[in-house]
């Protein structure tokens, strides 16, 4: 008969709890990704809560991070997206490149889901620009007859935010100062593509 100390029993219990927590995070991420991809949810916090409710998990369940949702979206598209997702992504990247050429004076970078490939058909095309004064970009858009809406910044590092609605996509511009771009926090695996890299993706 094997005798275990209380410490060993507690450690095994913690291990089982950690394993259940990881499994629940994966299940929530997968379900949230389906809701985002199939129903167009853009509020990921809401998608996580809806997923947890669908899975009948306790309110105290730890939710996956946004990075885990991105991974789950990529997996969802790989399994279920097929040609429809590839065509949608190509359309978004084509529209991104067109706007990057129009906004070339502000060194645009394609970021977010359209750059990474996990974007859904409902995702914004996110372009990051750099300008000493965001008003310069707004004036240029206004002079070109482009209608846009000013949005609140997502956080202190994202700068001014503008949204342009086109028949093909929603273009979200984040206008950073040179210092904000240098200091912006980012993940090592976060893609940030200049126009020539986007063109290469479309030619591949």
pLDDT over 80 at 189, yes or no: no
Distance CA 194, CA 204 (A): 16
pLDDT tens per residue, range 135-146: 999 999 999 999
pLDDT of res. 6: 66
Which residue, 26, 66, 23, 22, is CA-closest to 46? Answer: 66
pLDDT of res. 153: 73
Distance CA 125, CA 169 (A): 7
User: Which CATH number applies to 83-203: 1.10.3470, 3.30.70, 3.30.460, 3.30.1370?
Assistant: 3.30.460
pLDDT over 80 at 8, yes or no: no
pLDDT tens per residue, range 77-93: 999 999 999 999 999 99
pLDDT of res. 58: 85
């Amino acid at each position: 008969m094997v005798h275990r100390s209380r410490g060993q029993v507690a450690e095994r219990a913690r291990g089982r709890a950690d394993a259940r927590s990881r499994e629940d995070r994966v299940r929530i991420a997968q379900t949230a990704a389906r809701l985002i991809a199939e129903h167009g949810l853009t509020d990921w916090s809401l998608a996580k809560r809806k997923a947890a409710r669908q899975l009948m998990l306790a309110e105290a369940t730890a939710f996956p991070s946004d990075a885990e949702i991105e991974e789950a979206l990529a997996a969802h598209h790989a399994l279920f997206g097929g040609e429809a997702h590839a065509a949608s992504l190509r359309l978004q990247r084509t529209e991104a490149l067109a706007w990057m050429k129009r906004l070339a004076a502000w060194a645009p970078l394609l970021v977010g889901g359209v750059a990474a490939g996990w974007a859904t058909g409902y995702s914004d095309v996110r372009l990051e620009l750099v300008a000493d004064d965001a008003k310069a970009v707004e004036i240029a858009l206004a002079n070109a007859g482009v209608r846009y809406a000013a949005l609140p910044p997502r956080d202190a590092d994202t700068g001014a935010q503008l949204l342009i609605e086109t028949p093909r996509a929603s273009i979200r511009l984040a206008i950073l100062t040179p210092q904000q771009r240098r200091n912006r926090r980012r993940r090592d695996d976060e893609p940030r593509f200049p126009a020539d890299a986007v063109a290469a993706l479309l030619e591949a």
